[in-house]
Amino acid sequence: MKTILSYLLTPVYMFVFGMLLLIFHPIQIVTRWIWGYPVRKKAVDIMNFGLLYSLYILGARITYRGLEKIPKNRPLIIVANHTSTLDIPAVIVGFRKHHPKFISKIELAKGIPSISYNLRYGGSVLIDRKNPRQSVKDILLLGRHIEENNYAACIFPEGTRTKTGLLNPFMPAGIASLIKTSPSAIIVPFAIDGHYKLMRNKNFPMTFGVHLKYTALDPIEPKGMDSAELAKMIEDGIRNELGQ
């Protein structure tokens, strides 16, 4: 029965997902032109809430845990595992009060309604993997941005989405660069569990009835820590939460 529901309901969800992107693209443009960042951000939050919770169409259950541990009024460096494009709405919804910005590949800067626009104008960093020196400079600027505004930066230190659902080793360079220019930031390991199961067959059919669990682990004070040891500590914590 779940397989039948997966085939029947995946097109419905994909239609809703696509319509949200198309509807909110001009809304983002208009709100940015007229009212600027604060109102455009509210529109982006509403869009991502819709993108995430429309997974109820597929019988998904959505659970956030540990967000109460996150301190207020200081910058955050959210370090998460990466399994799906849905990781971004999950982070935006959970950390919306902290204005999360992303480190993303430059290829996403165009061609995707709403998402590309938000990445270009929402304060995120789009890096060119062929130009590592410039990428480091951009990440350092992002660190300074979150330091000055008490915002959050989200980084996926595996470097790319996992193709097996198993965690790849975390690379410390991006985390170290953010800490360098945001010395008062605290690290928030964020475990995303369920997206791989949901997308096991890629986009069709999506899996019906998956429990999606988003867990903020205990924050880590990075001061005085070696970046490689810090990355390994975060990786081990997320790996343990995922049962790997």
Nearest partner of 189 among 226, 230, 237, judged by Cα: 237
Sheet with 76-80, side-by-side order of all strands: 61-65, 211-216, 186-193, 76-80, 152-155, 100-105, 125-127
Q: What CATH number does the domain containing 108 carry? A: 3.40.1130
For residues 122 and 151, what is the distance between their CA atoms, to the nearest angstrom?
A: 12
Report how many domains make up the chain: 1
For residues 143 and 151, what is the distance between their CA atoms, to the nearest angstrom?
A: 9
Domain housing 219 = 2-241
The residue assigned the tokens 């443009």 is 29
Encoded amino acid at 60, one letter? A
Torsion of the alpha carbons at 216, 157, 206 and 99, rounded to the nearest 10: 50
Residue 166, CA distances (Å) to 30, 42, 62, 173 in order: 41, 34, 21, 21
pLDDT digits 0-9 by tens, 98-123: 999 998 888 878 888 999 999 999 98
Q: Using a cut of 0.75, tell me whether the model's pTM lies above it.
A: yes
pLDDT of the chain, 244 residues: tens digit per residue: 888 999 999 999 999 999 999 999 999 999 999 999 999 999 999 999 999 999 999 999 999 999 999 998 899 999 999 988 899 999 999 999 999 999 888 887 888 899 999 999 998 988 877 777 788 888 999 999 999 999 999 999 987 777 777 899 999 999 999 999 999 999 999 999 999 999 888 778 999 999 999 999 999 999 889 999 999 999 999 999 999 8
